[in-house]
Amino acid sequence: MFLLFKNASPPEFRPQYFFVILVSMLFACTPVGPDFVKPELATPGEWLESAGQGLEPVPTDVSLWWRVFNDPILNELVESARANNNNLEIAGLRVLESRAQLGVATSTLYPQSQRINGSATNISPPGSSGPTSNYWQYGLNFSLGWEVDFWGRFRRGIEASDAAFMGSIAAYDQALLLLTAQVVDIYTVIRATEEQLRISRENITLQKRSYAITEVLYRNGQDSGLDMQQAHSLLLSTQSTIPTLESALKQARNALSVLLGQAPGSVNVLLDREKNRKIIPLIPTDIAVGFPADMLRRRPDVRQAELQAMAQNALVGLAEADLYPSFSLIGSIGLAAGGPIDDDFDNLFDADALTYSIGPSFSWPFLSYGRIRNNIRVQDARLQQALINYRETVLQAAREAEDAMAAFNGSTQQSVLLKKTVASSKRSNELAMLRFREGFSDYQRVLDSQQALFSQQQRYVTSQSDKVRSLITLYKALGGGWEDRAGLPMISPQTKETMEQRTNWGALLDDTYSPSDNTDKQGEIPRPDW
């Protein structure tokens, strides 16, 4: 339905009445569809693991958790990765993309169609029309179309885009959290591998001396050669661990370089800067782990799952708005001149060249209810999926934290026992060598003790590494490592400069985006960015 008034209003048309009706329509808009209800965070009241291994259920701040290791090289590596990692910058660019999409959604509240048209047409009538000649027609026109958000269709779209924008920030926080954990984890692997190399070389030196002793005994005819061959075999076995460990060390260093956004091998100078710091990160005596509800709520992936459900909830309302008619205001104003009698261009600006049209219209797809209702059902099913995904995310988060605590407690107990085992193996090796020199036992006891010592030392280093890595996993499960990004740019200065030269981004590249409590933002429409 469309009402058109041209050049002059009919007697019954009153513009003031029309605008009163229009304003009433604007303020009477009530969004259809369900309002989002924040899901309950189903978390246990306390952790299952006891506090007997140094894990204390007390309030804590884990935003800078890697600093508990008190390692300046590690701190420098983390800061470098957070400033230069490529995947993190991609996550930041997705935030900018979502912010621009929110601007697109916000603009739908305003006149959706605005157009200026101009024309100059030369017309040549047919000869049968009489003694006429070619003439010009000129036109200049501005048209506007504005669909009123009567049922909240556009506001639901803005709500969905706003939640998606906040979800992209949560995704960025999750990328920052994972990057921090990866850097500390690989650094731990590097230090543990260096320690295993040191132990291997130390044992090679010890076993070379033993091999030399058996070789002397064999040449002097005091041994059949069996002890010498067994000593040589043990020495070769230990030496064979060196190439594998060196290869693993190079691969770990290359992986760390890439995390820092640098070419492989770039971190070698920094890692080797302090020779006396080549140790596995030391764990503090007491570790605060907070309470389940507080720690799991801070996780970015939990927040992202909630925002995905919020966005999908708005899409249900957007689909439901299709059931109702849409109301629009359509109008145009322009100038027209030219014809067979007078085609002077100056006439385009005469008073009688003015033409306009204005009127409301509505559209109602009432014969498409089957398609519309099924689309609503599709969106509602996706909403329920998002809500269940949120519930599953919370459960998995709780499981990850509990698993990390169990692994930490287990590796702590194992490390204590293996430390005693190493001490016992060292003493056993000393006694076996002493008894062999005094003639109370054969050399086989020495070989067995040396093999056991090397094995237990390697196991002890692995348990120390596992203990640190389980603590890293625990901090990651508790959602630590993203809150201090206030001064961290979403994109690098070089990327910002490139994008500014290529596209007009306005102030979007300068903004610092922070997560917010979206329950306080319901009903608030973001400002447009023009």
Q: Does 225 reside within a domain? A: no
444: in domain: yes
Q: Give mean pLDDT, residues 248-255.
A: 95
User: Residue 3's pLDDT is what?
Assistant: 37
Give the distance between the most distant pair of CA atoms in the chain.
138
- What does residue 120 show for φ and ψ, rounded to 5 degrees? -145, 110
Question: Which residues on adjacent β-strands are paired with residue 47?
Answer: none
Cβ-based neighbour number of residue 246 at 10 Å: 13
CB half-sphere exposure, 65, CA atoms < 13 A: 30
Bridge partners of 56?
A: 288
Tokens coding 142: 């501005």
96: three-class secondary structure by DSSP: helix
> Is there a domain that residue 196 lies in?
yes
Assign residue 372 the CATH number of its domain. Answer: 1.20.1600.10
Q: What does the pLDDT look like over 330-357, one tens digit per residue?
A: 888 888 877 776 667 777 777 778 888 8
DSSP state of 72: H
User: Which DSSP letter does residue 244 get?
Assistant: H
pLDDT at 467: 93
Whether 520 has a pLDDT exceeding 60, the answer reads: no
What distance in Å separates the CA atoms of residue 494 and residue 505, rounded to the nearest whole number?
15
Which residues, listed in sequence order, are joined to residue 355 by a DSSP beta bridge? 334
Distance CA 73, CA 186 (A): 13
467: tokens are: 């203990």
* Proportion of the chain above pLDDT 70, given as a percent: 87
| pTM to 2 decimal places | 0.85
Cα separation, 153 vs 131, in Å, equals 57
Which range of residues forms the domain containing residue 339? 15-56+73-205+242-507
Answer whether residue 34 is part of any domain. Answer: yes
Do the domain assignments include residue 528?
no
In a domain, 49, yes or no: yes
The label of the residue with tokens 């797809």 reads: 365
Rounded CA separation 433/125 (Å): 120
Token representation of residue 155: 């506001």
pLDDT band at 384 (very low <50, low <70, confident <90, very high): very high
Query: Is 117 among the domain residues?
Result: yes
Q: Render pLDDT for 303-327 as a digit per residue (tens, 0 to 9).
A: 999 999 999 999 999 999 989 888 8
Q: For residue 31, is pLDDT > 70?
A: yes
Residue 461 covered by a domain: yes
HSE-up of residue 334 (Cα within 13 Å, Cβ side): 19
| Tens-digit pLDDT profile for residues 122-157 | 887 776 655 567 878 888 888 888 888 888 888 999
How many domains is the chain partitioned into structurally?
1
55-56 vs 287-288, strand pairing mode? parallel
Return mean pLDDT, the chain.
Answer: 84
* β-strand partners of 358: 331
| Residues 426/345, Cβ–Cβ less than 8 Å | no
The closest alpha carbon to 292, from 483, 479, 37, 515, belongs to 479
> What distance in Å separates the CA atoms of residue 162 and residue 151, rounded to the nearest whole number?
19
Give phi and psi for 148, each to the nearest 5: -75, 135
Q: List pLDDT tens digits, range 171-197.
A: 999 999 999 999 999 999 999 999 999
